[in-house]
Chain A
Amino acid sequence: DQQVKQNSPSLSVQEGRISILNCDYTNSMFDYFLWYKKYPAEGPTFLISISSIKDKNEDGRFTVFLNKSAKHLSLHIVPSQPGDSAVYFCAASVGGSYNNNDMRFGAGTRLTVKP
């Protein structure tokens, strides 16, 4: 039972354009959402997060949007750079940002940014 789904295994965009990565979830109890980025042969690294009390959070080129009614979140990268090429994981948790024990991850989307 995958509670967090990333339906696009891969995405390819041109350098300088916008990358939009999508994530859907089924558990309405999730109240904290995160995006992780993973390069080959490395562990995931935290990118950006959002609490369910917000619908948008921005950090530089990265913006996460949350649509609670649709149980959907998305990550926008503008402008995309070749160094952004990586696998992006969406994750969700119940109990706020300090509950590490029940985080659920999506399967990941491989982003390729072409020069």
Chain B
Amino acid sequence: NAGVTQTPKFQVLKTGQSMTLQCAQDMNHNSMYWYRQDPGMGLRLIYYSASEGTTDKGEVPNGYNVSRLNKREFSLRLESAAPSQTSVYFCAAGDSLYEQYFGPGTRLTVT
């Protein structure tokens, strides 16, 4: 039982490159989330998916797209990476605030 897994763990991109962060959960939760964490700031919600086939914007969605491929998987895509997107990205799954399980994070650097 892995919980929430994220790949890759680390990534370095050049400005303008694209990439997809992968997230998968094995807990059968309906809701999944993508957050970013920047130094000196709390986690901020980028996008969420309340159920398979639905996605909605969070607090900071600009520059990102998401896909809820099925109930298990929720991916985050950067189409044209910018230095401002350097951050640690966390995926989470859970259907209530106190039952939200986070993955280990992806540390992304855009140069």
Same complex for A and B? Answer yes
Q: How many A-B residue pairs have CB under 8 A?
A: 69
Interface class of chain A by DSSP:
loop
Q: Which of these, B33, B43, B56, B104, contacts A105 with CB under 8 Å?
A: B43
Residue of B nearest to A33 (CB): B97
CA distance A2 to B59 in the complex (A): 12
Number of interface residues of A (CB under 8 A): 26
Chain A residues with Cβ under 8 A from B90's Cβ?
43-44
Interface set, chain B 82-104, CB cutoff 8 A to A: 90, 92, 94-104
Decide yes or no whether B44 CB sits under 8 A from chain A: yes
Q: Which of these, B4, B42, B48, B105, contacts A91 with CB under 8 Å?
A: B42
Judge whether A103 and B45 touch: CB under 8 Å. Answer: yes
CA distance A107 to B43 in the complex (A): 7
Residues of chain B touching chain A, judged by Cβ–Cβ distance below 8 Å, are 4, 31, 33, 40-45, 48, 50, 56, 58-59, 90, 92, 94-105
